[in-house]
Amino acid sequence: MDEERLTIIQEKLCKKLDDKRYRHTLGVMYTSAALAMAHGQDVKRAQLAGLLHDCAKCVSNKKKVKICQKHEIPVTPFEEENPFLLHAKLGAYYAKKKYGVEDEEILSAICCHTTGKPNMTPLEQIVYIADYIEPMRDTAPNLGEIRRLAFQDLDRCTYKILKDTLDYLNSSPGKIDIATEQTYQYYKERIENRYGNQ
C-alpha cells in the first residue's frame, strides 16, 4: 500500500462524509498510526483501517438497514432498533466493495470498531481505541488516563473504554448491544487473570 492509495481514498471520503466526520476520520487515521508505532504493529495497515472506519457513517439510518438487507449483511433485531450501529458492518462492506480493501484484518477492525469484540487482534484494538481518543474527542470522562494507557497497554485501555462506555450507556436502559457486553466481560476477565482482582 502506498501513499497515493491513501490520498485517493481520502479524496473520495472527503466527498462522502460531512466536514466534522472527515476531520474525525483523519484524527483516527493518524492516531491509529501512532498507536501502531507504539505497539510494533504495521503502521500503514493501521492508518488505512483508521481512515476507513467510519466510511458508512453518513448514510441515513433508514438506508443503512436497507442496504444491509439488500446485500445480505445480517442485521440483528437490536441493530434494527439502533441502526447507527450498522455503520461499522456496512463500513467494512464498503471498504471492500467501494475502496478495494482485501485485507481481512482491516475489514474486521472496521466491522467491530463500535462495539469491539472478544479477543481482538492488536490492529482491531488500535482502531477501537483510536476512535475513542483521537484529538477531536473531548467529552468522554477519564480521557487523559485513557490516552496515556493507549500507548502503554492495549488490553487495559480497551477494558477502561468498555467500562466507561457501559457506564455511560447504562444511564439509558435497554441500550446495550450484546456484543459490547460480551466484549466488556472478556476484557474484564483478561485483566483480572493478568493482575488479580482490582
Q: Which of 31, 41, 47, 115 binds ligand DGI (CB under 6 A)?
A: 115
Residue with smaller CB distance to ligand DGI, 47 or 165: 165
- Which grid coordinates belong to 104? 481481512
Total length of the chain: 198
Residue 131 within binding range of Fe ion, rule CB under 5 A: yes
Residue pair 35/149 in contact by the 8 Å Cβ criterion: no
Residue 125 within binding range of ligand DGI, rule CB under 6 A: no
Distance in angstroms (rounded) separating the CA atoms of residues 69 and 111:
16
Calculate the CA 123 to chain-centre distance: 10
Instruction: Give least dist CB 115 to ligand DGI, A.
Output: 5
Instruction: Give least dist CB 44 to ligand DGI, A.
Output: 21
Residue pair 118/189 in contact by the 8 Å Cβ criterion: no
Calculate the CA 44 to chain-centre distance: 16
Per-state percent for the chain, helix, strand, coil, to nearest 5: 70, 0, 30
Q: Which of 143, 176, 182, 190 binds ligand DGI (CB under 6 A)?
A: 176
Instruction: Give least dist CB 165 to ligand DGI, A.
Output: 5
Q: Which of 31, 34, 54, 191 binds Fe ion (CB under 5 A)?
A: 54
Residue 158 within binding range of ligand DGI, rule CB under 6 A: no
Residue with smaller CB distance to ligand DGI, 45 or 89: 89
Give residues 35-64 in contact with ligand DGI (rule: CB under 6 A).
54, 57
Distance in angstroms (rounded) separating the CA atoms of residues 149 and 142:
11
Whole-angstrom CA distances from 138 to 59, 68, 143, 153, 183 are: 24, 31, 8, 21, 24
Contacting residues toward ligand DGI, per CB under 6 A: 24, 54, 57, 82, 113-115, 131, 165, 169, 175-177, 180
Binding region for Fe ion (CB under 5 A): 54, 131
